[in-house]
Amino acid sequence: MTASKSSRARNARIGAQSSAARNAAKGGGTAVGSASRTGGASRNGGGGAGEGRTATAVRRDQTRSAAPRNGAAERGARVQAISDEVVQSGPPPWLQVTTFVLALAGLGVSIYLTIAHFTESALAGCSESGLVNCTKVTTSPESYVFGIPVAVLGLAFYLFAVAIMSPWAWQARRREVHLARLASLVVGIGFVLYLIYAELFIIGSICLYCTSVHTITFVLFVLTVIAAAGWGLRPGAAWKAGWARPLKLAPQAD
């Protein structure tokens, strides 16, 4: 009887210990699972935060890299606007008006010389003797070139000059217009040099009216060369050569 009770008591203790061990094992597995889930959540949270920070850094870098591009684009737009304004206006108004008025004056003198040549009338206010002798000059053989009166050639030249020196022609966008202006003045100044040589060394007299035309042609030549050097032979070449270059702007901070 006593042995049987002792066996049952021992078996009861062993069963209790086994139950406690199983419960402990279950509790440890639950704790491990909870820890694993917690660790995974922590890792996932850390990864999300890291990804968020990375995306923010990328956007910040893109913004920083876009800022210089935007600033360069704005400066380019400002330069282009100034370039368009310079191209549209061409040489300054004073030069355009001055050349036009000089061309009109040359045309007026040429008309008067042409009329005097065909009517054989004396030129008003011009001496008929000495170094200044208009009649001797206008009736000399050198007053014809290729059988054409020099007065008529001067009239034709200044008819063209009035058109090519007008403000509308100065502001023309076709390169041919500006090239024709320069070419006509080069030919004109060459012809003027020949006439001056003929008056001084062949005829031995000068004509005041002819000299006024020569002077006007020379001034037009100088102004045309300055315009060609400063603004080019086409609107697109404005300020690329010459003594003024306003399109070279200093970089501005954005």
Residues 102-137: pLDDT tens digits? 999 999 999 999 999 998 888 888 877 788 999 899
The reply to whether 34 falls in a domain is: yes
Query: How many domains does one find in the chain?
Result: 2
Whether 104 and 229 map to the same domain: the answer is yes
For 230, what's the count of Cα atoms within 13 Å in the CB-facing half-sphere? Answer: 14
State the residue range of the domain holding 172. Answer: 91-237
The reply to whether 176 falls in a domain is: yes
The reply to whether 187 falls in a domain is: yes
Residues 10-69: pLDDT tens digits? 666 666 666 655 655 555 544 444 444 544 444 444 445 445 556 666 566 665 655 555
φ, ψ dihedrals at 144, nearest 5°: -125, 140
Q: Is the pLDDT of residue 198 over 60?
A: yes
The reply to whether 254 falls in a domain is: no
